[in-house]
Copies of this chain bind each other. A is one copy, B any other.
Amino acid sequence: MEIKEIGEFGLIKLLAEGIKLDPNRVVLGIGDDAAVLKQDGSKLLLATTDTMTEGIHFLFSTTSPEQLGYKSLTVNVSDIAAMGGLPTAALVSLTLPKKIECNWVNSLYRGIKEACNVYGVNLVGGDTVSSLGGITLTVTLLGEVEPDCLIRRSGAKPGDLLGVTGPLGGSAAGLRLLSLELNRDLKGAEAALARHLKPEARLWAGRNLAKTGKVHSLNDISDGLCSEVLEIAEASGVGVVLNARDIPVDPAAWEIAEYTGDDPLDWALYGGEDYELVFSFSPEGKGEIEAALAEAGCSLRIIGEIVRDREKKFINFPDGRLRPLKALGYNHFN
């Protein structure tokens, strides 16, 4: 059987089988945004890794090396933010064709170093090896979090409200623009492309949310809102109802959709790579959470609620239709 028959998530399940973990060391292994380890100090150690491959995650022709470098760090910072932590140090592994230009690699590292400065990350190591194929870039990011600030995806409780930190669908609109080779001067194009090619992580929003003590579950939106919300619901053993009219669709997505004829709500629900945070919280914490997000320069958008019935996972449309929640994000092996 080829792996495309079981898909990315089937593969991860297969690989995770039979792994023995030392409970004195490991708080969380495979299955959240980052691994969580005990160390002998008061803080927990966080570790996460993300790989970007040429032709799959990026095209040489549409991404500048600076953007690629910056994004490779950002997507990992977003995973640390989704645990309530702060990043500390990164290791970068790079496979490169021998014929690549020094200038290109230098620019890639300029982007990596810029992101390190923005997010307070120490670039401490890595590996550079040659490749017979294309470019592969793997960033492993370490971080730390106080035990009472750690937020898992598995803590959602019935009655929780579901919030996001910002507009969605802009990154998918940018990707669509690139894939159709549309004019980059279109209205909304600059914003959508920036969202896709050089996203930012909601690090301070995640930190501030964690410090309120009111947030029960948290994911970053890398694979698409519905996919992330389903992960929270499944890990927490609860159901969830999203309200379509409350999803904050990125204005750039509306603008691009006028040209492409797509539904911008689909981009917001399934597109991914917006790197906003989605989280559940007790309703009485709403004021504190609004203040925490305002301090981090973003605002609370309530998009649904957590329910007790774990079979109940759907989106509620203004016309009364209910659609089941589906994880339609990118799957690497389907």
A interface residues with partner B (beta carbon < 8 Å): 1-6, 8, 11-12, 14-15, 18-22, 25-26, 28-30, 34-35, 37, 39-43, 45, 47-57, 88-89, 91, 93-96, 98-103, 105-106, 109, 113, 116-117, 120, 122-134, 136, 138, 140, 142, 144, 332-333
A52 / chain B contacts, CB cutoff of 8 Å: 129
Contacts of A109 in B (CB 8 A): 14-15
Q: How far is the CA of A326 from the CA of B128 in the complex (A)?
A: 21
What residues of B have a CB within 8 angstroms of the CB of A39 in the complex?
Answer: 39, 41, 43, 45, 144
Check B53–A130 contact: CB distance below 8 A.
yes
| Cα separation A106 to B10 with both chains bound (whole Å) | 12
Q: In the complex, which of the residues B6, B18, B55, B125 contacts A132, with contact meaning CB atoms closer than 8 Å?
A: B55
Q: How far is the CA of A231 from the CA of B123 in the complex (A)?
A: 21
A117-B56 in contact (CB<8A): no
Residues in B with CB closer than 8 Å to A4 are 98-99
Q: A50-B127, A125-B29 are in contact. Are A102 and B133 (CB under 8 A)?
A: no
Pick from B37, B40, B116: contact of A43, CB under 8 Å: B40
Residue pair B3, A102 in contact (C-beta under 8 Å): yes
Once the chains bind, are A15 and B105 in contact (CB under 8 Å)?
yes
Residues of B within 8 A of A129 (CB): 51-53, 56-57, 332
**Is the beta-carbon distance between B49 and A93 smaller than 8 angstroms?**
yes
Bound Cα distance A128, B330 (Å): 13
Interchain CB contact under 8 A, B91 and A140: yes
Q: Which residues of B contact A18 (CB under 8 A)?
A: 113
Are A49 and B126 closer than 8 Å at their CB atoms?
yes
- 10 A-B residue pairings within 8 Å (CB atoms): A3-B105, A11-B105, A14-B102, A15-B106, A47-B89, A51-B94, A53-B129, A53-B133, A132-B133, A142-B142
- Chain B residues with CB under 8 Å of A125's CB are 29-30, 34-35, 47-49
Q: Nearest 6 A-B pairs (CB), nearest first?
A: A133-B133, A41-B41, A40-B41, A35-B124, A55-B132, A140-B140
